[in-house]
Structures are given as C-alpha cells and as structure tokens.
Amino acid sequence: MKREGQITVDSENLFPIIKKWLYSDKDIFIREIVANACDAIKKYRSLCQIGEAEDNGTAPRIDITLDTNAKTLTVADNGIGMTEEEVEKYIAQIAFSGAQEFLDKYKDQTDAENGIIGHFGLGFYSAYMVSENVEIETLSYQKGAVPVHWESDGSHTYEIADGSRAAIGTSIIMHLSEDGKEFLSEFKLREILRKYCHFMPYEIYFHVIKEESADTSSDTKDTTDKTPEKPLNNTTPLWLKAPKDCTTEEYEDFYRETFTDMNLPLFWIHLNVDYPFRLKGILYFPKQTDKLQVMPGEIKLFANQVYIADNIKEVVPEFLMLLKGVIDCPDLPLNVSRSFLQNDGEVAKISRHITKKVADKLLSVFNNERKSYESYWDDISPFIKFGCIKDEKFYEKIKGIILYKTINDEYKTFDELQKPDNKVYYVSNTDVQGQYIKIFKDNGLEAVILEHNIDAHFVTFLEYTESGTKFVRIDSEIGDALKSDESVDTEVNAEEVIHFFKEALGMDKLTIQTENLKTAETPAILTINEYERRMNDISKIYGNMFGEAGPASETLIVNTANEIVRKLKDFEPDKRNLLCRHIFDLALMSQRKLTAAEMEGFMLRSVQVMSLL
C-alpha cells in the first residue's frame, strides 16, 4: 500500500543548501551515487563471508543506464538492499544527530571546500542537483523481504510503497531536470565516469537506451544487447599489487592508462603501507618537455579506489605536485574539508611518510645506479630543487645527491665541485654566455649550468643554507678567476690604457680596469655586478614591491696580455678610439644581445676596422 511520509529534517532549508553548494561542481553526484552502490555491495559481500547472509551466486556489479528518451539516469547495484524500515531510516529521516546544527552551519556557505555532500550520509541527496524527481527501487537481502519503492521530488514529502524489484540490490532512478540536461550526453557521462569511477572496486557497466519506451525502470528494461563486453572500469588498479609482483611493462601501461601521456616516465615509486596508517599508490617521475619551465604534475587522491580530487596538498606535499601519480588513503572520507585535513595529525603523518619514501628512492637510485640517476637529472632537478626549497628535512636528507651539470658535461655533487675561495661559478644561459664558457674551458676552469627558471631561487637558497658559499655568474667576477700568475708587463701603462678607453667610450657609469689575464686572445671582458643583477631580476619578477632596482653596474676588464691592447698607444687617436669602441662592442656581445642601435653601430665600426688592414 502506498503511503506518504515527511522527511524529518526541514528539507525546505536543506535542499536549497545542497543545490547551491554543488552548483559549480554538480557532476560529483555520479561519484556519490556510484560510491554508495559500491558500499552496498561491499556490505552484502561481508555479510556473506561471515555467514550472516546467503550468497545468491551473482557476481558483484553496478549498471548505469542512460535513457535519453525518458530523460532518466539509473544506477543499479546487486548489493545489500534495504527494507522499508531502512529506507525510512537512511533516506527519509536523514539519520544523524545535530541536524539543525548542520543547517545552521552550512546555510550561508557555498564554497565546495566545506564538503557538505558526504557529511552525515547526505551522498544520496546529491542526486537532486540534477534531478526533479528521484525514485528508489530496492530489495533487501533479508529472507522474506518485500521490495520497496520510494519517491520524492525534493520537497518535504515522499511516497513509499511496495516495489517491483525482483533481485537483491538497489536502483536509484534520477529523472533529470532542466539543470541536469547536460548529463543526457553519452560522451559527457563517459567522461565523468572515467574521472570518478575508473578504479572503483566493482565492475561498472554503462548502457544507453535511445528508443521509445514508457518504462524507465532498469529492473524491467531489456538492455542485455547493450551491455558492453567489458566493464568501463579497472577494478584491480596496479597500486593494489605488491611492488615485487609488478613488471616494468605494467607500470608503464598503467601510467599511459591513467594520464594519457605517451612520454614514458623516467622511474617510479610504489607506496605500500599498512602501518601505522593504510596507504597505497604509485608516484611517477615524468619526463619534462620544457627545459626552462617547471611543468605541473598531477597527483590523484583516492579513498578505497574512489576518486576524491587532484593535487590535495594537505595530503601530498606541494613540491610533489610536479610528479604524476595516484595515492589511495582508505581511511580518508570521500568528502572532507581542507580545514579538517590541515588539522588532522594522521594526515600530516601521511604527508611526511610520502616525502620520506621519495627521498629514500632517490638515494637508492643515486647509490646503486648513478649513471641512470645522472641521465634523469635534467628532468628531475626542478622537482628536487623545489622540494629542497619547500622542505628543509627533505633537503637535509638528499642534499648529498643534488647534482650540478658542469660546462664539460659532467655531473658532480656539491662536494665534488671545485670551489676556489668558496665560489661556485655558474652559467644561466649557455647561448648568451658562450664566450665566457669558452674562456673558462680554455683555462681549465669549472662552472656549472643553472639555466632553469627555478635555479635563480635555488642559488639564493643554497647561499643561505650553505654558509660561506657564494654563487657567481660566469660573467660577473670572471676577472679574479682568470688573473694570470705572471707578473704584469711594465711596458704597459695601465692608467694610460684606462684613459684610452674612457676617452673613446665616454661612458661615465662604466667602470674600466686592467688585468693581466690568462687568456691572451681576448682583448676585454665585460662583467656585471652579481648582487645588483640579482636585485634587478627580482624587480622584473615581482615589480617594484621591494623598491625600484636600477640597472646593474658593469665593469670592462681590459686584458693587458692581449697584443692589440698592448699596441693601442702606437695608433693615431682616431684609429685608437675606433679600436677601443670595437673591443667594447665585442665584450658587450659576449654579455648580451645588442639592441638595434648598438648592432647598427657595431656593423659600421666593423667596416671601418677592416679598412685599417
């Protein structure tokens, strides 16, 4: 007999809150309804295992049926089912304590971070985000149970009566509203099911019915011919297997399947923890396609194979977001607020453990496969450097295996580098600073290549952390590194040479000095003040929030060991001025690209210099 009932919580207040909260992310209703179906199957299977229920011999499955003509979406499971009493308890009464407190707390909040759906068993009600009416057809596993039909349009009343379901389980029939018409798209539904349900633990089959039919119940429709041969989900994702049982091919296939990335990962870390918390997952180190920018990664968070969200930094440390991977924490609720995660001690332990496992893996690869580690370095260095900056403990653990690529294509640790006077010379642009690199190589000097965007921050971090160490760009204080040990030729008047250049250049702000350098073929080198240059770079990145930074001061180091410089005194003033300008042009071109006006002047003077021959 059909009878009416009243939902005990004031639904006139409740439903608008739910709908408003989920408006921008309403596709989550699919996850909630299908996850409930998984829970129902799990409960039934657990009761069968302990002898509390009789196994009906059917394989666990969930059938999702889209009827585009009837505008219904049905999720049916063969799980535990419900009696009429249970329907009223779990659906009609929304059985939780402090219901009014809940309404008071959330009535003015719309941010999805609050996680209303999923709290206090409200997952079912997410169906009303997209439905004008929802039906339930259910049959309990209990002997003698009678099928139940429940229906409500989201108002404060519902109807309940005997149902028509013949098999144990539950069907949720959602009559899609105007707001939910986008979910009548087969393509969109498949996309959402892949997002939320791709790794759920029980087989999920998706059916589409397009022909005319008055009957929208999934229990009576014949959809056998539309059932795909294979389920749309993978019920045994690779992270559930023991690492020792997984092959390289399986890891690579799973990576492609999950991230649709055709570039194979460099290597991976398989997490498998049962104590003091449960945690499984696989983290992949992807190949970086951009050598200058840090490419964002993607860490998918699951709870019992049910997708929660991407890149939850409260669980996965922020610097690990440069990786790609999956983390399954069975003890996390499907919907949980950021504030809960931030204040939960167990979540902090999970985050620390993941960081430790990553550091352990890197140490293992370095110690046992250094050549492989070196081949990975250009791809993984941005991630490692970012991790060091963000996490002091991570840096302390792996600082001995941070590599520095030298201008001679060698990979060295910090301790292996030559550090005269605790200075580490570095290159920030191998193209622009090519002349300086050649000078260093010709004189057996060492410099490291740090041209990724993160390196500017990493250099500052290292100087702060490694007290006494100074990083100097290769075009900054090169004069000290290249000073010749031989005595200065007394025939060269240094003050006279400086006067020649000042007179020819007429640049009051340019500092000019002479040095007897090891490399005689280079007439002059232009260096830039390291500190002022860094401040200038910071100003470009952050604007003038730290004050306006002027151009960094430059110094022209004239090489008194060069034959042309030594003969300047023998030229007529006009020709000497022309040579001094040309020498400065060459030094400037080794420092940076010339402007259009500078290039025009250089070309003109080059022709004039050639006329001297």
Q: List strands edge to edge, sheet with 524-528.
A: 511-515, 554-559, 524-528
- Span 473-479, mean pLDDT? 77
405 pLDDT higher than 90: yes
Instruction: Dump the DSSP string for 24-68.
Output: GGTTHHHHHHHHHHHHHHHHHHHHHHTTSS----PPPEEEEEEET
Of the given ranges (33-42, 82-91, 95-104, 233-242), which has the lowest mean pLDDT? Answer: 95-104
Confidence of residue 103 (pLDDT cuts 50, 70, 90): very low
Q: How many CB atoms lie within 10 A of CB 502?
A: 15
Of the given ranges (151-160, 343-352, 395-404, 563-572), which has the lowest mean pLDDT? Answer: 343-352
If one compares 363 and 228, the residue with the highest pLDDT of the two is: 363
Confidence of residue 253 (pLDDT cuts 50, 70, 90): very high
Closest by Cα among 574, 463, 567, 486 to 523: 567
- Span 444-449, mean pLDDT? 91
25 pLDDT higher than 90: no
pLDDT at 329: 87
pLDDT at 119: 37
pLDDT at 101: 45
Of the given ranges (303-307, 383-387, 475-479), which has the lowest mean pLDDT? Answer: 475-479
Q: Are strands 72-77 and 61-67 parallel, antiparallel or unpaired?
A: antiparallel
Q: Give yes or no for a contact between 295 and 324, defined as CB atoms under 8 angstroms apart.
A: no
Q: Give yes or no for a contact between 4 and 158, defined as CB atoms under 8 angstroms apart.
A: yes
pLDDT at 538: 64
111 pLDDT higher than 90: no
Helix (H) or strand (E) holding 389: helix 370-390
pLDDT at 121: 45
Q: Give yes or no for a contact between 349 and 332, defined as CB atoms under 8 angstroms apart.
A: no
- Span 87-106, mean pLDDT? 56
Of the given ranges (85-99, 153-167, 262-276, 397-411), which has the lowest mean pLDDT? Answer: 85-99
Q: Tell me: the pLDDT tens digits for 315-374?
A: 778 888 888 999 998 877 655 554 555 556 667 788 888 899 999 999 999 999 999 999
47 pLDDT higher than 80: yes
Looking at the DSSP bridge assignments, the partners of residue 554 are 528
Confidence of residue 192 (pLDDT cuts 50, 70, 90): very high
Cα Rg of the chain (Å, integer): 35
Q: How many residues can be counted in the chain?
A: 613
If one compares 597 and 345, the residue with the highest pLDDT of the two is: 597
d(CA 513, CA 438): 22
Q: Give yes or no for a contact between 162 and 140, defined as CB atoms under 8 angstroms apart.
A: no
Report the phi/psi class of residue 100: left, alpha or beta, with left for phi > 0 and alpha for psi in -120 to 50: alpha
- Backbone phi, psi, residue 272, to 5°: -150, 90
Of the given ranges (288-292, 338-342, 599-603), which has the lowest mean pLDDT? Answer: 338-342
8 pLDDT higher than 90: no
Q: How many CB atoms lie within 10 A of CB 6?
A: 12
pLDDT at 143: 92
pLDDT at 14: 55
User: How high is the mean pLDDT of the chain?
Assistant: 82
267 pLDDT higher than 60: yes
Confidence of residue 292 (pLDDT cuts 50, 70, 90): low
Q: How many CB atoms lie within 10 A of CB 503?
A: 12
d(CA 378, CA 240): 31
pLDDT at 116: 36
Q: Give yes or no for a contact between 205 and 232, defined as CB atoms under 8 angstroms apart.
A: yes
277 pLDDT higher than 90: no
> What pTM value is reported for the model?
0.74
Confidence of residue 93 (pLDDT cuts 50, 70, 90): low
97 pLDDT higher than 80: no
589 pLDDT higher than 60: yes
71 pLDDT higher than 50: yes
What percentage of residues in the chain have a pLDDT greater than 70? 80
Domains, the chain, ordered by start: 3-226 (3.30.565.10), 238-398 (3.30.230.80), 475-610 (1.20.120.790)
383 pLDDT higher than 70: yes
pLDDT at 160: 93
- Span 250-277, mean pLDDT? 89
- Span 37-53, mean pLDDT? 93
pLDDT at 100: 44
